[in-house]
Structures are given as structure tokens and as C-alpha cells.
Amino acid sequence: MRMRILPTPIVLAVACWLPTAAGFCQEEPGVSMSFAYGFSGCDGITGAAGSEYDKAVDCVLSTSDNSSAVGIESWSFCVQASNATIRSITIEGTDAEGLMDKGWEINEVVNGGAGAISAALLSFRSTVTLPPEGDVSVAAITLQGIIPAGEAEIVSLSYLDGLSGSGLPVDSIVTYDGETMLPELGGCGFSVAPDRTPPAAPVDLEAAPGDRTVNLSWRANTEDDLAGYNLYRDGELLAPGLAESSYNDNTLVNGITYTYAVTALDHSGNESVPSPSVEATPEVPPAGPFLRGDANADLLVNIADGIWVLSFLFTGGPMPPCNAAANSNGDDRVNVADPVYSLNWLFRGGPSPPPPSSCDLSSAPGDISIGCDQPSC
């Protein structure tokens, strides 16, 4: 049986300094030295239940209680994880990457399904200097797992000895001046939990009614995990999973009042409380604005308007810009009776044209029916 005797803490009566090229350490009685393996980056994870996550955690070698820089010759370690799979290990992007010109590395995932890996084993041709106090990132591992649907799970990481992988067994050690040191072996744990926090309710919902339609818009949410919106009409889900902060509801009946509200969704499936509701009543928009009798749209009613209508009716002239304006007598059609009506009013004291008598909108069904393609004003 392999045994690893671990003094706690490790205190050695040696000190180490490095001549620039020689790469050796000299003993100096009465100076303490301490090493420890640990982890950094063990913060918690939240996400959509059932989704897969990848998380990077650094393996760290710490020095402490040292009166001078520490020269070491190699280090090695094994790591295991619970409630997650170790997918990969590398020194890329770590402090150790800059030391590769002095040594070589072995790293491999061994029995990854059980959540254990062999060491990132660094062995140097010459001594590497570590600071008197501080941490050196010696490897980066990637954990992979699934966000639970229920309660949070705790993922734990720890160092262990004896994984062999494709080579000899590896222990979590440091070599210094030809001696094997047994660092303190730390661990870490972090929670993996489903995201239960919904987005904020959307604000500034506005509804603009039209003919059998309502155009809706609201201020876009700013959450990083925003997935979209649900739009409700009269308490029923109308449009689920909208990507944009606007919607045109064009399946309505004029004259009926509808109530709208909108909620925000995130990628974990959380839904916000509804926005403040708004009401809208679709209706046929009024005609105009126009001036009754102003057939040529010059904002005057005179003989030129009668000539315009007669030219349109009998000589192929242009049609009136606004039919409702050319309909001088208000009988919901444009014909010869309209210029006759206008001329009778202008020159013989006949009745004036029906409203609008100044440039305005008209909700009269006849005016809406014949239309006003180019409002006069």
C-alpha cells in the first residue's frame, strides 16, 4: 500500500537562492520554507436547468513563510473532482507556461469519467525560482457537468496521489535541492445551481390602435441572459418568445377594447412579472385632414375646384388628391353634382359645404369610405 506522510504545516530548516546560471540552492539553518497546492476560480455557477456547463479552475502552487526566493526543480500532482468530469488539463495561459523553456510537461486525463486526472508534471533542467510569498498557477483544468433541475449540487476538487495514467504513478510533490517535499494539499468546492432569478418586468409598454390592428412597443430589457418576451392580450398568451420589443396585433375587431401586458424571459426559462397593462380600441382612422370643396388641395374653395372636378370627370384630367375634399355636397361620391353644389354656394348663395369647413379630420363614414389619399394639410 502506498503511504504519504504529510506533516502539517511543512516547515524545512533551509533557505534557497539562485545564482543566475548555476541553478542550485544552498542550505541555511534556521530559515523556514512552506509549500501548498490549492485551487483558484472556485466560484459558483448558475444556469438553465439541464444545460451543460464548462468551467475553468486553476491549480495553484503556493509558497509562504520564506525569507527569500525559493528555487525548486520540479513539481507534480494529481487532481480529482466530484459531481463533475474533468475534461482537460493544460498549462497554456498559466504562470507555468512561461517556464517551459526550462523543462517538459506531461498532462493527460485519466479515467475522466470518474473525475480524476493525472498530473501536470513539470521537470526542469535547471532550477525555477518561486517568490518568497505568493501563488503560481501551474495548470488550468476544465470541468464539465450538467446544471441540476432541483437543489444545488456541490462540486469539489482535491489533490490525491498515485494516478499512473500511461506512465508511472504520480504523487503531489515538489522537489527542492534534490529532496522530495510534501506540500499541504488543499481543496475547493463550489455550487452548481439552476438559475431561479427572473428578469425585470418590461416598462414603457405603448399601444397604438389602427384599423383592426394595434401596434405595440416597449423598452427593451438589458439583462445579459435575456431570451425574449411573452405578450398577453386580455390575460391570454398571444405571442410567446418574441425576440424584438415590438409586435403588431392585426387580428382584431374594430370598436372592441383590448388589454395588453408583456413579460420578459431568460435563457433559464424564468419569466418576469407582467408589465403595467395598457388598453387600446382599434377603429377605422378618420379621413383627412382636408377642407370640404377644396378639390385641387390649394386650401381654397373657389371656381378652380369645380373646374378640377369637371376636368377629372369628363376630359381625363387628374383625379382629386383627396376624394373626400372633392365631395362638396357630402353625399359620399364624387360626381357632377359636387362642382354644381360648390358653384351654387359661391355665386348664388346656396348652402355651404358640410364640415370640415377648415382643414380637419372627418370621421363621417362616407368620407372614410371614399378616402383621402393625399391630405390637404
Contact between 63 and 89 under an 8 Å Cβ cutoff? The reply is no
pLDDT by residue (tens digit) across 20-78?
232 223 334 444 568 899 999 999 999 888 899 999 999 999 888 666 666 777 788 88
pLDDT by residue (tens digit) across 148-178?
988 899 999 998 877 666 666 778 888 877 7
Which pLDDT band, with edges at 50, 70 and 90, does 123 fall under?
A: low
* Vertex 55 angle, CA 64 and 162, to 5°: 60
Phi, psi of 133 (to 5 degrees): -135, 135
CA distance 31 to 107: 34
pTM: 0.56
Please give the full DSSP string across 85-117, using - where no structure is assigned: EEEEEE-TTSGGGGGGGGEEEE----SGGGTEE
Is the pLDDT assigned to residue 208 strictly greater than 90? yes
Contact between 147 and 51 under an 8 Å Cβ cutoff? The reply is yes
C-alpha cell at 366: 362616407
Choose the CATH number for 287-370 among 2.60.40.10, 3.90.850.10, 3.30.2010.10, 1.10.1330.10. 1.10.1330.10
Does CATH number 3.55.40.20 belong to domain 34-194? no
Which CATH fold would you assign to the domain 203-280? Immunoglobulin-like (2.60.40)
pLDDT by residue (tens digit) across 278-290?
999 999 888 889 9
Q: Where are the domains of the chain?
A: 34-194, 203-280, 287-370
